Amino acid sequence: MWYVIQTLTGREEELVRMVRRILPKEVYTDCFVAYYERVWRRQQRSLVHVERLFPGYVFILADDPDEIYQRLKDVPAMSRLISDGMFTFLPLEAGEEAFFEEMLDAEHIVRLSYVEKDVRGRVFRITGPLKQYAEKVQQYQYKKRYVLVRVQLLGHEKLVALGIILQEDIRQEIAYGKVEAPLVLPRIYQMEEPEEERSFLVGEQVTVIAGELSGMRGVVWKVRKSTVDIGVRLFGQDMPMEVPVGCVCRASV
């Protein structure tokens, strides 16, 4: 099971080191601080910062939390934290565990998610860890490259910032900036490419599968990098409509 140790903000990694030093490996599976990546724009450059996802929280995976608690309690430094009310040890609920298992990678970091908008500014594609939680996004902050997602932690709802990357960032070399995690990170960030674009041919019959024209059929007139012009029959004549490639598919015969 997953448990959360609440401690002083800024002392999280110190607590992780203490746990790893004191506890035998057989009484716990892992102990870590959760981080997330966030893009910051500085002087026409994109810098990835790695920041604490939940400041003041340390996560530990174990089968017998009572044994862990008693072992830590015997350490004078931990005993003082417990007596001062600066130490809590609480289990995560199943849904909360699922969130972290799905979002965190092997280094306990929520990586950037790729978000793409259509010509009207509406999100039509998300890849990366955010994809499964798109319906929980409360707010998109495109200029600041993050979204606010509503999640559960210890039975309470919290708004959590998760980093995103946009189309204009995707082909840049993005360097790491501020890194709070004690990790050896690559100097250059290479973002995963989004899903492969659908390729269409002029003259093909297609069906619109998303957006205001959803369900309408038309013929491809022009193919661009991320959109296609299709001729749609409206008011007795063929009207050209620009549609994101992700919003159309080949029409079934």
For the chain, the distance separating the N- and C-terminal CA atoms, rounded to the nearest angstrom, is 51
* 244 and 122 assigned to the same domain: no
- Work out the mean pLDDT of the chain and round it to a whole number: 79
pLDDT digits (tens, 9 = 90+) for 74-107: 766 565 555 555 556 788 888 888 888 999 998 9
Residue 51 bridge partners (DSSP): 36
CA angle (177 as vertex; 5, 97 as ends), nearest 5: 30
130 pLDDT above the threshold of 70: yes
pLDDT at 76: 63
Q: List the alpha helices (DSSP H) in the chain.
A: 12-22, 65-73, 76-83, 94-103
Query: Helix, strand or coil for residue 252?
Result: coil
> Do the domain assignments include residue 144?
yes
pLDDT digits (tens, 9 = 90+) for 179-198: 777 766 665 565 555 554 45
Q: Of all residues in the chain, what percent carry a pLDDT higher than 90?
A: 14
pLDDT at 40: 84
- Give the pLDDT band of residue 119 (cuts 50, 70, 90): confident
| β-strands 45-52, 35-42 pairing | antiparallel
Domain region containing 144 = 2-189
| β-strands 2-6, 30-32 pairing | unpaired
Please count the structural domains in the chain.
2
> Do the domain assignments include residue 198?
no
Q: Give the mean model confidence (pLDDT) for residues 15-27.
A: 85
* 139 and 220 assigned to the same domain: no
pLDDT at 164: 92
Domain harbouring 213, CATH code: 2.30.30.30
Which H helix or E strand runs over 115?
A: strand 113-117
State CA 148 to chain mean position distance: 10
